[in-house]
Each structure stands twice: as C-alpha cells, then as structure tokens.
Structure 1
C-alpha cells in the first residue's frame, strides 16, 4: 500500500507523535500539551491520483517514495472522505465506458467538503475539444458533480471551479468557498479543532488588532477577526486572495481586510522602508496591532519575518515542521513566554506533526 493506514494502532501512533513533540521541547518552559486527534478514516477532503492505462484498463494509481516509477493500483482509499471513495467508483466506471473521457487522461483530482459539496478535475495530455466537452457535460449531469478539464495551458470549467464548505469553529458555522488547484486544509475535522483552538487563545483581544501572514482563503482570519477590533491578512496567491475576499462577504465580516503581499515584501516595506505600492494601499498606522498569526511553509520564517513578528506582544505560530518552529523560537525565547502548546494530527499514520504555540511578550523584556 503506497499510503500509510493502520487504524487499529492509531492511538499508539498518536502517542508516539505526542512523545516526539514533547521531547523536542524538552528544556523549554511550556504549559501542558493539548493534543487534538483525527478521525481514524475518511479524513482527507481532497485526493489526487495518476491514471495508469494498461491492457485496455485504466486504474487509479499512486507511487511509493522508494519506487517512484512503479504504479500501485488503488481500488480502495479509506483515508479519503466517504464522498471521494464513492466518486472514485463512478469515475472509474465512466473512464472504462467512454473512450473520449479516457483518451490521454493523465490524472484525476477530487475536492470534497464536510458540507457535501464536491468537484472533479480531469487532467489530460492533449488539447480538450468540443467532443470532450460534450461527453464531460454528460458525465457531470450523471454524477451531479461539477467537472473541470485541464490540459497544458487550458482549463475548461463546465459549471464552477470551487466547492462550498461549512466549518464549525468554536460552536459557530462559517462558510468557505474553496477553489480548485489552491491550498485548503486537507483534514477538515482537525482544521475545525485547530482554528477553534486559535479562537480560544485570542478570546480577550478586543482592544487590539490582528495581523495574519500567509492567510490563504481566510481559514483562520475570518473566525479570529471577531475577537479583535480590526484584522488584516496578507497573502501572495491571487486565487487565495479572491477566495478570502469572497469568504469575508459570505460570513459578513466587517473588520477584516486582505492585502495581496508576500510576508517577505511586507517585512522589507515595514522594517526597512523599502518602497511598496501594495504596502501603501493599506494604512498601517490605522491599526493597533497586538497579535500576529503565522502559519508558514515547512521552511519556517525567514530572518526579516521573525524581526517583523517581534513587533507584536502576542504571537500565534502554527507550524507544519516542529524543527523549524524550534529554530524560530530560539530567536524569540528571550522576549516571549510560551503560554499555550498544542499538537494537531492533520496527517494520521505519518511522521508529520502539526504544532501550535502561543507566545506572550514578557512584561520585563
């Protein structure tokens, strides 16, 4: 099996992750670690498969890291949402029945939600024409699921290119429009727990303002904004900025703005006064920032971004790589105390650990 799956031993695996993270922070003064588990199965809201054509048959396929050239056919994918497992069977049957759908089909991607919405993307090594579109429209109507066709320099959206999600955050329902081919949290149940944790940590911040770097589609910023006077999110992806602004409107959030700007560019403009049209578009002096949320890539925060977040009295740091988290915290430890500490099991049965910490500036620093 090219993907890890061992539900009978899930509790032990989570205990191992807990011990690993605890040991990594040995020597640091931390509060008790909060551990947020995942469902044992059907937790992934999205999945991507290669299509392998062999002996007049087409198969969903994945590859092992140690043997990236040999396909492993996937007939069952229990880590994916139940909706994905159902759609896999429907799509597989359609591919076998329909030569137009099958011809040079390279990859299939599924995007689903807890709210029951779904999207199927079919990716080809050929230009998509009217004949393909007619057949794809037939299958879209048959499945009752929007279909997108992709090829080199080509994207055909038959109905829409997003799904509508509803997440329960700290007891309140939030609506999110999630676009195809853009980042969304893969494990929706753990996402709800993670954002709810962040909301809890900022429950008494109404006198100050929030900044979020790497804000994506507003997954954190939108629920958190209600804990603050004002909020500002920064994000470099055009699609994510579009999605965030639509989600702000969907949830009727009045105090949150999104700036399309990389955190590195924000740091240069704010710390070093480098000219920046985008930085000047929002009036930084109108904000009374006391809290910053960062959820960086695996590489962690660069030196300038660390200097930037040191302007804030409270830092919420969500990390997909505890080793780079430790590296970044080493720079901050003389000024801040860790007041909350959490593990979020986004990826069960893997070594991947998602961690969250809250840092509060020491009054004597």
Structure 2
C-alpha cells in the first residue's frame, strides 16, 4: 500500500467500488446481494513488517513501493497499523538508538499485536546473537512489556513467548488463540471477528459432520466446531498444526480431529487413491459429512479439490481472491447455487478483498 492510498475520507467510496466488483464477478451465478462488512478506517492492521534504512547515521523504519528496492519511504508512524504498534515504534527505535547490542546489523523489525492487547516484536540480524544482545533484549522485553524474538542465520532466540495471545468473540462466546511468530494470522482482527460470526451464522446448527480444509491455527475451526457433531480438519503447515492443537485444547473443543495433510492429499485419501500413514487410526467412513469449509490460498482450490467439495450439500467458502473464487464457483455452479455471500474489507485502501459464499446443493 502506498502512503498516498491512505484516505479515510474516501473509504466509503473505495468500499463501494469493491462491492461493485464482487457483484460483477458473482453476477453470472445469480448471487444474492452481498452483506458488506467494513473495517475501522485506521489502526486496523495487527501486524506490520519494516526494513530498516540507514540515513544520517541512524536507522529508520522503511517501506518500499512495489518493485522498488533502492528508494525507501521512511516512516515514523503507520496509521493503518494497530494503536499498539504505533506506540511501540518510537519506543523500539529509541531503544536500538541507545544500544549498540540491539542495533548492530539489525535490518528488519516485525510487529504482531492482538485485539486482546498482546504484542510480540521480532528483530532480524545479519550477525550471530551473543550474550550482550540477550541481556539487552531481555531488558527491552521488560521495558516494553512484549515478547521479543531475535533471528539471525540459523538461530532463533525467544524472550517471553513465541506467540501472541488473541481473544475473539463469536456469538457471545470468547475463543482464545495462540498466534505463532512467523505463521499466518488474519491481519485485520476486527474484520476477522466479523468473518467468524458470519461463517458461524451461515453454517447454522447441524447434526452431521464438517470437513475443513486449510484450517491454519484453527481460526474458524473453534467456533464452527460448536455447530456440528464432529470435525475433520486438515492443514499442511507444522507450525499451524501445533498452534491449532493447542488452541483446541485451550478452548476445550474436543470434537475435532486434525490431520497434517494438504487438501490435495486428503482428496486422494477420500477417493481411496492411496492410503496415508498420517490417517492411521482415523475411520474416514465413520464421518457423516454434510458440509465442507474451505479457506484456500490466493490460487483457490485446485480442480480436483473443487470437485471433491461437490460431494457436500453445503460448501462454505472464504476467499482472499475473488477471481479464483469465481472460477471455483463456475466449476460447481451446475450442482450448487449461492445461498449467501459477503464482502469482508480486510485490506482498506487496496484492491484486495476477502469474500465469503455459502453454496447449497440444487434441488433435484
């Protein structure tokens, strides 16, 4: 996002343009009007990453325009980032300016904050981290009341926790999440909470089972599991699987079986193309799947996985790319119709949007 794109006064107009774009993409499928969920105009982004740029014998936070690596945009504040990040930025800068142990060959800084008020700072270096750095970083963590992670080639040092703690409210219940350093989390916490509530309502109470693909750290898994008999969830990232298992246990959600498989691998397993050792002891035929939930990467579902979802009466689909969403719906449109759709403005002042659809099997 370029600095000139930040325009709170023009926010309503840019959101209307996104809604029109989504409406155009879904028009061939007779989609109903989309529910539109807006974002806070500022301080909505819970994570931020900055390179450091040396100028006038000081290191400054910097970002670069797409495709430009040599002309930095120096930053003192970042209004799209959370209030906590904006408060931490000058405090951290003052700390590294006062400490050579913190500043020596520091080239990148990452912030992760949560709606619950937690914060984690990752400092990346082109040098080994020594005892002097450890002492300075421990003092920094205490002064700023954050977890600090130091990264250098082949080494990671954790002071505090290696995750941030989040709390999100869905249908009156609070779910707590560990969000690991380096793993994917939804950047706009307020809109994420709106997405969770929409998905919870769209799925509705059911007496059968749910298949979830691309479950990540269990962001959607936790609330959706309370709507069904049991869940089979898949995720390929080891870090995300570990976080999801912790989150399930921390929230007392005990009707979810999580397997570390890609969506493509699970498709092969359900089609009995080949067995997987990671599914040992899991009786796939014991599930009475009525619904599937998918939140795929920007490329959308591959054709085989998309074809797999056709088996289910209900397909609940969260998308970060409306073009691939439309392509997947085109593949499914002969058997499923769009019952509900929504626009979630995760990324104000950019062309990016999150959207959601509930597809239900056509009668007959």
Above 0.5 in TM-score? yes
Q: Aligned-pair distance for 1:269?
A: 2.0
Secondary structure at the counterpart of residue 64 of structure 1: coil
In structure 2, the partner of 1:70 is: 71
Alpha carbons 1:266, 1:279 under 8 Å: kept: no
1:186-265 alignment to 2 at 5 Å?
A: 186-205=187-206, 207-265=207-265
In structure 2, the partner of 1:81 is: 82
Query: Over residues 203-232 of structure 1, what are the superposed CA-to-partner deviations in whole Å (9 max), with x where a residue is unaligned?
Result: 232x11011100001100110000000011
1:26-45 alignment to 2 at 5 Å?
A: 26-45=27-46
Alpha carbons 1:165, 1:177 under 8 Å: kept: yes
Alpha carbons 1:49, 1:61 under 8 Å: kept: yes
In structure 2, the partner of 1:284 is: 284
The 10-residue stretch of structure 1 (162-171 or 265-274) with the greater mean CA deviation from structure 2: 265-274
Distance in 2 of aligned mates of 1:227 and 1:215: 16
Distance in 1 of aligned mates of 2:235 and 2:51: 30
Distance in 1 of aligned mates of 2:202 and 2:26: 20
Query: Over residues 19-73 of structure 1, what are the superposed CA-to-partner deviations in whole Å (9 max), with x where a residue is unaligned?
Result: 1111122232112210000000000010000011222111000000152321110
In structure 1, the partner of 2:359 is: 359
Unaligned 5+ residue runs, structure 1? Answer: none
The 10-residue stretch of structure 1 (164-173 or 312-321) with the greater mean CA deviation from structure 2: 164-173
Secondary structure at the counterpart of residue 96 of structure 2: helix
Secondary structure at the counterpart of residue 53 of structure 1: strand
Secondary structure at the counterpart of residue 218 of structure 1: coil
Q: Aligned-pair distance for 1:202?
A: 1.4
In structure 2, the partner of 1:60 is: 61
Q: Aligned-pair distance for 1:281?
A: 3.9
Q: Aligned-pair distance for 1:272?
A: 4.4
Matched length: 363
Alpha carbons 2:29, 2:337 under 8 Å: kept: no
Query: Over residues 300-339 of structure 1, what are the superposed CA-to-partner deviations in whole Å (9 max), with x where a residue is unaligned?
Result: 1111111211121100111111111111111100000110
Alpha carbons 1:2, 1:72 under 8 Å: kept: no
Alpha carbons 2:307, 2:332 under 8 Å: kept: no
Alpha carbons 1:121, 1:147 under 8 Å: kept: yes
Distance in 1 of aligned mates of 2:152 and 2:60: 19
In structure 2, the partner of 1:101 is: 102
Q: TM-score, normalised by structure 2?
A: 0.97
Distance in 1 of aligned mates of 2:125 and 2:362: 56
Secondary structure at the counterpart of residue 338 of structure 2: strand
Alpha carbons 2:31, 2:341 under 8 Å: kept: yes
In structure 2, the partner of 1:336 is: 336
Secondary structure at the counterpart of residue 124 of structure 2: strand
Secondary structure at the counterpart of residue 68 of structure 1: coil
In structure 1, the partner of 2:325 is: 325
In structure 1, the partner of 2:181 is: 180
Q: TM-score, normalised by structure 1?
A: 0.97
Let me know the Cα RMSD of the aligned residues: 1.2
Distance in 2 of aligned mates of 1:352 and 1:64: 16
Distance in 2 of aligned mates of 1:42 and 1:60: 18
Alpha carbons 1:300, 1:324 under 8 Å: kept: yes
Distance in 1 of aligned mates of 2:26 and 2:218: 30
- Judged with a 3 Å threshold, the aligned counterparts in structure 2 of structure 1 residues 253 and 125 are, in CA distance, closer, same or farther, namely same
Secondary structure at the counterpart of residue 348 of structure 2: coil
Secondary structure at the counterpart of residue 222 of structure 1: helix
Distance in 2 of aligned mates of 1:51 and 1:21: 37
Distance in 2 of aligned mates of 1:26 and 1:360: 17
- Kindly indicate whether residue 130 of structure 2 is the aligned counterpart of residue 129 of structure 1: yes
Distance in 1 of aligned mates of 2:345 and 2:160: 34
Distance in 1 of aligned mates of 2:2 and 2:93: 19
Unaligned 5+ residue runs, structure 2? Answer: none
1:107-126 alignment to 2 at 5 Å?
A: 107-126=108-127
